[in-house]
């Protein structure tokens, strides 16, 4: 985290990450106040993202949380380095940080996953994060007629494959491809349907929009029942 680190420390962290092929996670451009503080602390860096780039902390194993107030040049840096962005909509709203324009990142080919900022918002539920991501994208769409809000398919991908890619584990998990770990939940389709006879696609959509922990009958991690 640039605000709590010196340039020397960031450089050392970049060296260690490169030497040992480590994962990196930090905040980036969460609030305007944060950006101003970074600019004062690192006057020789043209942008907040440049601070991390100069320290060699932007890699394909880097997860950048929030990214609410990115300049265009910063988006390009993130894309070029193949970093992932962790979108934390519930936290961004709850803390009044701002609204991340996720569609802008996706159009540039940036991988976006979902986070809760350790429940910096109102919930640590990934279901709530998916719903909040859709809600905030609808808010962004009010400002532009040609801005399609995020679909439930897209936020589900962010919560699953997006996270797997961010962790550099897309060859091991994230979907049901042959050879990957069986990480899955069994959903009780009778919950939240109110007796309606729904198609499978409708049940899936219903779960994303209205599901909760009470809808989950069983949890598998790597093929093992854990709940």
The CA distances from residue 146 to 40, 133, 138, in Å, are 37, 18, 12
Question: Which residue ranges form the domains of the chain, and what is each CATH number?
Answer: 2-175 (3.20.20.140), 181-226 (2.30.40.10)
Measured distance CA(42)–CA(60) in Å, rounded: 24
> What pTM does this model have?
0.93
**Interior CA angle at 140 toward 76 and 147, to 5°?**
75
End-to-end Cα distance, the chain: 35
| 63 or 193, which is more confident | 63
Q: pLDDT tier at 44 (50, 70, 90 boundaries)?
A: very high
Per-residue pLDDT tens over the stretch 87-98: 999 999 999 999
Q: Residue 193 pLDDT more than 80?
A: no
Which of 161, 166, 136, 162 is closest to 64 using CA atoms?
166
Per-residue pLDDT tens over the stretch 154-163: 999 999 999 9
* Per-state percent for the chain, helix, strand, coil, to nearest 5: 45, 15, 40
The CA distances from residue 32 to 37, 152, 188, in Å, are 9, 29, 43
């Amino acid at each position: 985290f640039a605000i709590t680190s010196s340039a020397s420390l960031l450089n050392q962290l970049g060296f260690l990450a490169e030497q040992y092929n480590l994962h990196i996670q930090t905040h980036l451009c969460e609030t305007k106040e944060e950006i101003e503080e970074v600019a004062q602390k690192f006057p020789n860096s043209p942008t907040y993202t440049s601070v991390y780039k100069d320290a060699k902390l932007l890699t394909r194993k880097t997860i950048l949380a929030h990214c609410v107030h990115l300049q265009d040049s910063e988006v390009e840096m993130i894309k070029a380095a193949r970093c992932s962005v962790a979108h934390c909509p519930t936290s961004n709203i709850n803390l009044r940080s701002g609204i991340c324009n996720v569609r802008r990142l996706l159009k540039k080919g940036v991988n976006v996953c979902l986070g809760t900022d350790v429940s910096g918002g109102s919930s640590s539920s990934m279901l709530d994060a998916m719903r909040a991501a859709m809600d905030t994208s609808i808010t962004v769409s009010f400002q532009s007629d040609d801005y399609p809000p995020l679909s439930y398919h897209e936020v589900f991908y962010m919560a699953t494959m997006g996270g797997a890619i961010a962790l550099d584990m897309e060859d091991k998990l994230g979907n049901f491809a042959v050879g990957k770990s069986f990480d899955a939940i069994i959903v009780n389709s009778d919950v939240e349907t109110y007796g309606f006879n729904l198609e499978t696609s409708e049940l899936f959509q219903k779960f994303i929009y209205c599901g909760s922990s009470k809808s989950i009958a069983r949890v598998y991690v790597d093929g093992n029942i854990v709940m």
